Amino acid sequence: MMNTPDTLSVNFLAEGEQTALQIAGRLAAFIRGAERSLDFAIYDFRLSPETRAIIADALRERATAGVAIRIAYDADKPSSPPLHHGMDPAPNGTGEFVQSLGYPWRRIGGMKLMHNKYIVRDAALPGAAVWTGSTNLTDDAWTLQENNLLQLTSQPAAGYYARDFEQLWQDGDIGNSGAFDTTPVTLRYGGQPALVDIHFSPGRGREIDYEVARRVACAQRRVRICSMLLNSGALLSALGEVLQYNQAEVSGVYDRTQMESVLEQWQDVPHNRWKIYAVEDIISAAHLVGKNSTLYSPTSRHDFMHNKVLVVDDTVITGSYNFSNSAEFNAENILIIENAALADAYSNYTDHLMQKYGGEQGNQ
């Protein structure tokens, strides 16, 4: 969907509820809107021949028209990612796929992950736009996983993403990318202003973790959880207090299988054992619904509940940023969006997933 300037749109994905061709078509439309530049910062980029053809054709068309295309991707993914640190599992193959497209590319190294999933289009032009959210560029992400896609048509917003991209591109390393201050950008959603606060880690990782927990701790009406993992100690403490004092309604959905793997691994990490009881108490007290996904392996069915979303009153928190301590040190982006209609849309989506997975065996 094409946006007018200073607007925001969202698409919600759920397992079996859209086809890879539909999402590839949306992405191709976004690509075809480029006039001067397209910069990809992507963790996992691997497509089937059918969807690859759609995206490759769109890129080729724009390149022929003189659009500069650059692709930065995460280097050196481990074969067995440590989920207890909030590491998002992804198979190998991104580098080979990206390089096969034939455009300038850069492997982004570092001790942690280049975990972004964003595209910056025409950052220097008035019609600049950003594609972001929780969704990797893979057929699995588009068909088997729960994800959300955001499009922001805004030159100021695109400028922040372009700045982060340039830091990654120039250094070829996560480094301290994103270590700059941002000012909230006013867009529109549902006919009303949407105040969008954008931050990047690792440069602002600690501030992000604090701000997410602070907003949850200040909830007055609702906290909706739609997140693959709940690993952050600060967030767990804030959720525990909200529930303890009956401060706001807490409910939502998470990925049970992936979270159980985390809990098992925390048993061997003494300073994390308190989190096991905190997570179990939150799941029980809030009656969180868990999706029974497939236990991760590089060749398994990648059907995770992959969102990273919190709704706090009339604010949406989303992006690539898992709610984990490790995310502070990854290259990530997070958006904190104040708009009642958008918060209701995410809340309704969470209700849909709770209903969809609420009957699975073992739900609390």
pLDDT tens digit string along 7-51? 999 999 999 999 999 999 999 999 999 999 999 999 999 999 999
DSSP state of 260: H
Percent of the chain having pLDDT more than 70?
93
pLDDT tens figures, 267-287: 999 999 999 999 999 999 999
Confidence tier at 85 by pLDDT (50, 70, 90): low
- CA angle 318–323–326, rounded 5-degree value: 125
Confidence tier at 299 by pLDDT (50, 70, 90): confident
DSSP state of 3: P
Confidence tier at 240 by pLDDT (50, 70, 90): very high
By the 8 A CB rule, do 232 and 204 touch? no
pLDDT at 84 over 90: no
Q: Report the pLDDT averaged over residues 113-135.
A: 97
The pLDDT of residue 131 is 98
By the 8 A CB rule, do 97 and 55 touch? no
Distance CA 118, CA 267 (A): 35
Confidence tier at 5 by pLDDT (50, 70, 90): confident
Q: Report the pLDDT averaged over residues 104-124.
A: 95
Domains, the chain, ordered by start: 7-357 (3.30.870.10)
Distance CA 312, CA 213 (A): 11
Cα–Cα distances in angstroms (integers) from residue 2 to residues 84, 131, 228, 245, 362, in the given order? 39, 11, 29, 44, 42
The pLDDT of residue 362 is 47
